Amino acid sequence: MTTKLWTEEQFNCPVCLDLPKDPVTIPCGHSYCMECIKDYWEKDDHIGIYSCPQCRQTFCPKPAISRNTMLAEAVEQLKNGGPNSFSQAVVRSSLEVPCDVCQDKKLPAVKSCLVCLASYCEEHIRPHYQSAALKKHELIGATGQLDQKICSEHKYLQEFYCRTDQKFICWLCTSNHHKGHDTVSTKTERTEKQKRLVEVQTEIQQRIQERQKELKDLKKVADSFKRSTEKVIGESEDTLTELIHSIERMRTLVNEILSTKGQEKVSAAEEVIEQLEKEITDLKKRDSELRQLACSEDHIHFLETYPSYCESPEAGDLLSVTAHPEASFEPVGTAVIELRERLEDICTGELGKISKTASTLPCTTANRGAGTRFKADLLKIFSVLGPKNTERRERRKDQPLHKENTKEIQRRLQKGFEYIVRQPSKKANVNPTSTAKTASVVLSKRLCSRVQGEPYELAILQSPGKVKLDGELTGAGSGPSSARTEVKVPVVKPITCINVDLFLDPPTPNPAPQPRTRPEFLKYSCQLVFDPDTAHRRLVLSEGNTKATLMRETQPYPHRPERFDGWTQVLCKEGRSGTRCYWEIEWRGRGSSVGVAYKAMPRKGGDARSGLGYNDQSWSLELSDTCCSALHKNEKKDILVPYSPRIGVYLDYNAGTLSFYSIADTMSHLHTFQAIFVEPLYPGFGVGSGVGVGLDFA
């Protein structure tokens, strides 16, 4: 079992940087000297709001503080016994060799004599140091079972090793039974074997590191697969639920269709039936009248009415009807059954495809003797080969550009140039003409960035067009009372030879691939130097302004408006923009922070506005020996990681990413910020209690 060794620095009071006197612990968990925290809070009595010097957590009213007795005892023990007293007691072996001379209480032996074949404690070993005869004896560290190290034949110490017979022998054996054999002293044999032991141990340690890395990667894969599985299950549940709803809607529509069409057919048949029944009634009436006329004995009446009754009905007056005895709605039912069968076939086929895809997903490769391939397979799982739209764009490159598409692009561009500009307020004192000009430059840059890598032409038309800017420019007035003003700025002339899809999908003009390994990151390394005009007065800069150390005393730095006076922070001289940059730092102590900030970041006061990551003008990673926290806009995200004294920072300004890495035997990603950077970024550092931070350029 290993024991963590606590150092004096970790017990120091963050204010006075010394072992705490009458230590107290405030509600946030940090500890200080009672007098230090009282003096620190005394300056906030007029406000009534008190904060922790380290984490800046605020308290209202002032917390009651009392002595932390456990911490006081630990500090006292540290003062008396030294930092390693406890570890020495833990490391002491439980298998102590007893002194062969002690009679009553056997004290632990400190040395063993190879001549006397006995072990002695500190008291009884003194004669070997004082007597001239005993000084010649060979002493070694205390070891037991000396009698087993005696030659059974000659009763001498086995000081030699026979490589031929692979056994321990005495000096007399070398001239008798083992004469002519390859014999060396046990010390020489031990030295050679020790070399091989170190080699084997190195191989084992290397193998342990490799297996631990593979285990770590495998755990990541398992965790990633678990999260991915849960996500896909949820999405599949939603998708299948939508499919069920679609089928339910389809069932409703089919029922409506069947009901409507069936009713239409029945209604049409009923209408024909009604007409046929009327015709039959009329015909029966006429037949009855004809029978009466035939029976009439009045010849004159017969002849007078005969013409009207003997006319046969015309074909157009009678309804032509054809009945279909086999008529049925069963074909519709058959169509529905066929639909069901097709859906079942699709579901069965897709289910098999889903099952096959899930079964063939690469997760682990655990073949004996295939460690390299195993690591490669693991890397494939995490690799993302190129941007998502590359393949799609490659297909679009060969598509011809039609004139209609070019005209449509021109129309959309000219329409897209119509912005709204709010009238600047009097206080802002902004010139509308210069504002519009700035907007034009911004728009041109945006267009150029979108068509980069393609032939394009941007120029000014003969007649300028109207451009409106709405809330895009800083300094413009806001609110209902702000009037709107139209200004004249140039518009682009027709664009030629531009891929239509570039305006629907941001292009990727073959950027350099993102670095993945430390050597690839180091290609973007940059030299940083602290700006002394920004350093807090308790920070001492050294080693060519590449190391910052927090001290008790304030330094006689001149007054500067850009100097931090509340937070123990410092910025670098040069800002970074437009390129990729990478730098590394080493830190020691109880806490530090590393990040970037705009030049306009507040510097004065001890409130949150001036701390790295506690405002919207800076991004930072707070460091401690147990975890770290990503900070921006005073929003904190804790990251549980092992202690890492070296941190790498990678800034891709154009991509809007700021990434932090833990540098050890391997490079581990800690956190990445995503943002749209609009100003140069200045690397910044916060130095907590302890030694400080130092820039390292690897």
Over 61-100, what HEC string results?
Answer: CCCCCCECHHHHHHHHHHHHHCCCHHHHHHHCCCCCCECC
- pLDDT recorded at residue 652: 94
In this structure, the number of other CB atoms found within 10 A of the CB of residue 76 comes to: 11
How high does pLDDT run on average in the chain?
A: 75
Q: How confident is the model at residue 463 (pLDDT cuts 50, 70, 90)?
A: very low
Taking 80 as the threshold, does the pLDDT of residue 612 lie above it? yes
- pLDDT recorded at residue 535: 94
CA distance 591 to 687: 7
- Joined together, the tokens standing for residue 110 give 């400190």
- pLDDT recorded at residue 631: 93
- pLDDT for 311-348, tens place per residue? 666 555 566 777 777 777 788 888 888 888 888 888 88
- Coil/strand/helix, residue 489: strand
CA distance 400 to 397: 8
- Joined together, the tokens standing for residue 166 give 């692979």
- pLDDT recorded at residue 367: 53
Element (H, E) at 260: helix 186-294
- pLDDT for 57-71, tens place per residue? 888 888 888 888 888
- Provide the residue type at 346 as one letter: I
Percent of the chain with pLDDT over 70: 72
- pLDDT for 153-172, tens place per residue? 887 788 899 999 999 998 88
DSSP-derived letter for residue 582 is E
CA distance 43 to 52: 13
- Provide the residue type at 603 as one letter: R
- 79 vs 264, which has greater pLDDT? 264
For the residues 516-532, what does the mean pLDDT come to? 92
C-alpha R_g of the chain: 46
Taking 90 as the threshold, does the pLDDT of residue 617 lie above it? yes
Taking 50 as the threshold, does the pLDDT of residue 438 lie above it? no
CA distance 611 to 601: 9
**Count of positions (residues) in the chain:** 698
Closest CA to 287 of 318, 321, 265, 310: 310
For the residues 123-143, what does the mean pLDDT come to? 88
- pLDDT recorded at residue 528: 92
Taking 60 as the threshold, does the pLDDT of residue 545 lie above it? yes
For the residues 493-511, what does the mean pLDDT come to? 40
- Provide the residue type at 195 as one letter: K
CA distance 532 to 483: 46
- pLDDT recorded at residue 8: 65
Residue 419 phi, psi (nearest 5):
-110, 175
- pLDDT recorded at residue 426: 39
The pTM for the full model equals 0.34
8 Å CB contact between 651 and 596? yes
Taking 90 as the threshold, does the pLDDT of residue 5 lie above it? no
CA distance 80 to 19: 13
Taking 50 as the threshold, does the pLDDT of residue 493 lie above it? no
CA distance 13 to 9: 9
For the residues 220-241, what does the mean pLDDT come to? 87
Q: How confident is the model at residue 625 (pLDDT cuts 50, 70, 90)?
A: confident
For the residues 379-407, what does the mean pLDDT come to? 40
CA distance 590 to 11: 9
Taking 70 as the threshold, does the pLDDT of residue 456 lie above it? no
CA distance 458 to 156: 100
Burial of 661 per CB tally in 10 Å (0-12, 13-18, 19+): buried
- pLDDT recorded at residue 370: 43
- pLDDT for 297-313, tens place per residue? 888 888 888 887 776 66
- pLDDT recorded at residue 434: 39
- pLDDT for 355-372, tens place per residue? 878 777 776 655 554 444
CA distance 575 to 581: 11
In this structure, the number of other CB atoms found within 10 A of the CB of residue 158 comes to: 18
- pLDDT recorded at residue 176: 86
Element (H, E) at 549: strand 547-550
- Joined together, the tokens standing for residue 612 give 């790295």
- pLDDT recorded at residue 57: 87
- pLDDT recorded at residue 86: 44
- Coil/strand/helix, residue 235: helix
Taking 90 as the threshold, does the pLDDT of residue 564 lie above it? yes
8 Å CB contact between 175 and 192? no
- pLDDT for 667-698, tens place per residue? 999 999 999 898 999 999 998 765 556 565 44
For the residues 584-606, what does the mean pLDDT come to? 87
User: C-alpha angle with apex 603: 599 to 606, nearest 5 degrees?
Assistant: 150
- pLDDT for 628-643, tens place per residue? 899 999 899 988 887 7
- Joined together, the tokens standing for residue 2 give 């290993």
Taking 80 as the threshold, does the pLDDT of residue 522 lie above it? yes
- pLDDT recorded at residue 440: 41
Percent of the chain with pLDDT over 90: 21
Could you write out the DSSP letters of every residue in 118-165? Answer: EEE-TTTTHHHHH-TTGGGSPEEE--S-GGGGB-TTT-SB--EEETTT
Taking 90 as the threshold, does the pLDDT of residue 582 lie above it? yes
Q: How confident is the model at residue 473 (pLDDT cuts 50, 70, 90)?
A: very low
User: C-alpha angle with apex 691: 687 to 694, nearest 5 degrees?
Assistant: 70
Domain architecture of the chain: domains with CATH:
8-80 (3.30.40.10), 111-187 (3.30.160.60), 518-697 (2.60.120.920)
Residue 51: which residues within 8 A CB-CB, separation 6 or more? 44, 57, 58, 59, 606
Cα 243 versus chain centre, distance: 34
- pLDDT for 93-113, tens place per residue? 445 789 989 988 889 999 888
Taking 60 as the threshold, does the pLDDT of residue 602 lie above it? yes
- 76 vs 581, which has greater pLDDT? 581
The contacts found for 520-524 with CB under 8 angstroms, 24 or more apart, are 521/582, 521/648, 521/650, 521/661, 521/667, 522/582, 522/698, 523/582, 524/579, 524/580, 524/581, 524/582, 524/650
Residue 91: which residues within 8 A CB-CB, separation 6 or more? none
Cα 638 versus chain centre, distance: 12
CA distance 106 to 108: 7
- 211 vs 411, which has greater pLDDT? 211
